[in-house]
Amino acid sequence: MSVTLAAGVRANLLALQQTSSLQEVVQNRLATGKKVNSALDNPGNYFTAAALSDRANDLNTLLDDMGQAVQTLKAADEGIKAIQKLVDSAKAKANQALASASSTDRATFASEYNNLLSQITDIAEDSGYKGKNLLKGDSLKVIFNERTGEAQNSLTISGVSYTDVSNLSLTAVADPSADWATGTTGDTAINDTIDSLNSALTNLRTQASTFGTNLSSVQIRQDYTKSMINTLQTGADKLTLADQNEEGAKLLALNTRQQLSSTALSFASQADQNVLRLLG
């Protein structure tokens, strides 16, 4: 059985339905903060914003990797600083031995020198971060963008092996009681050791400078990536975020319209009520 509605009633009922539908849209925007929540709202804006957000997420993952690379470089730098101090101490022992006229004291200094070299090896062994140790010969690849293949931007940092002091041109004193003994032979051996220590310090300073340059490059790309992520996210937001003030004003207007439509519907139905009174 169908019910026939007066034209005025039907028009006002339709207006109420439309107003209710618009209220749902506005309420959803206020709840989510977005004016585009699905492709149905605005296909162009939705898919463009999704692409921007996806790229921002990819870069954000790479940003985490860059942060870890920075820590790996810092760990290596701290290791080099500690090794430099040990080399300086070893050089001091060699100079003390050279200035000493006692073979016994020289033998003691030589043994202490050997102990310092073993500490260099230990520090190099302990300068890793999350399984990567640039002072143990490991290399580190830092990826800067989300593309692959030839379009990928990255930096490969080559490590050095200081776990073997011979790579610093250093050697332990084979026979502390004899090799640094007083006399021309002992003095020559000590002077050769001091030359090797000076060479090692030059090597360490050069490597520290190289790691410092790499660290600076990674940090610059890190800051750039942060700015790019912010740009991408802002762009996506401009396409999808709703103006809360505007949506709030719309909801207020729709609520007012709903009240007026309800009043109009009540007036429109009065004609049917008059007929009911006649029948009564």
What local confidence, expressed as pLDDT, does residue 17 receive? Answer: 73
Phi/psi of residue 262, each to 5°? -65, -40
Is residue 254 predicted with pLDDT exceeding 80?
Answer: no
Tens digits of residue pLDDT in 101-141 = 999 999 999 999 999 999 999 999 999 999 999 999 999 99
What local confidence, expressed as pLDDT, does residue 73 receive? Answer: 97
Which of 113-117, 143-147, 269-273 tops mean pLDDT?
113-117
What local confidence, expressed as pLDDT, does residue 262 receive? Answer: 67
What residues contact 34, with CB distance under 8 A and at least 6 apart?
240, 241, 242
Is residue 267 predicted with pLDDT exceeding 90?
Answer: no
Asked whether 111 and 249 are in contact (CB, 8 A), the reply is no
**More confident: 67 or 26:** 67
Spatial distance between the Cα atoms of 225 and 56, rounded to a whole number of angstroms: 9
Is residue 100 predicted with pLDDT exceeding 80?
Answer: yes
Please, what is the average pLDDT of the chain?
A: 88
Q: Which of 43-47, 220-224, 248-252, 273-277 has the lowest mean pLDDT?
A: 273-277
What local confidence, expressed as pLDDT, does residue 246 receive? Answer: 75
Is residue 26 predicted with pLDDT exceeding 60?
Answer: yes
Return the CATH class of domain 43-240. Answer: mainly alpha
**Average pLDDT over every residue of 31-56:** 87
Tell me which H or E stretch contains 140: strand 140-143
Asked whether 198 and 87 are in contact (CB, 8 A), the reply is no
Tokens of 71: 């820590």
Q: Domain boundaries in the chain?
A: 43-240
Tens digits of residue pLDDT in 82-94 = 999 999 999 999 9
Residue 99: which pLDDT band, with cuts at 50, 70 and 90?
Answer: very high
Is residue 50 predicted with pLDDT exceeding 80?
Answer: yes
What local confidence, expressed as pLDDT, does residue 56 receive? Answer: 94
Residue 13: which pLDDT band, with cuts at 50, 70 and 90?
Answer: low
Residue 149: which pLDDT band, with cuts at 50, 70 and 90?
Answer: confident
**Average pLDDT over every residue of 256-262:** 72
Asked whether 35 and 41 are in contact (CB, 8 A), the reply is yes
User: 10 Å Cβ neighbour count for 86?
Assistant: 21
Is residue 40 predicted with pLDDT exceeding 60?
Answer: yes
Residue 38: which pLDDT band, with cuts at 50, 70 and 90?
Answer: confident
Whole-angstrom distance between the N-terminal and C-terminal Cα of the chain?
24
Tokens of 163: 């776990």
Residue 248: which pLDDT band, with cuts at 50, 70 and 90?
Answer: confident
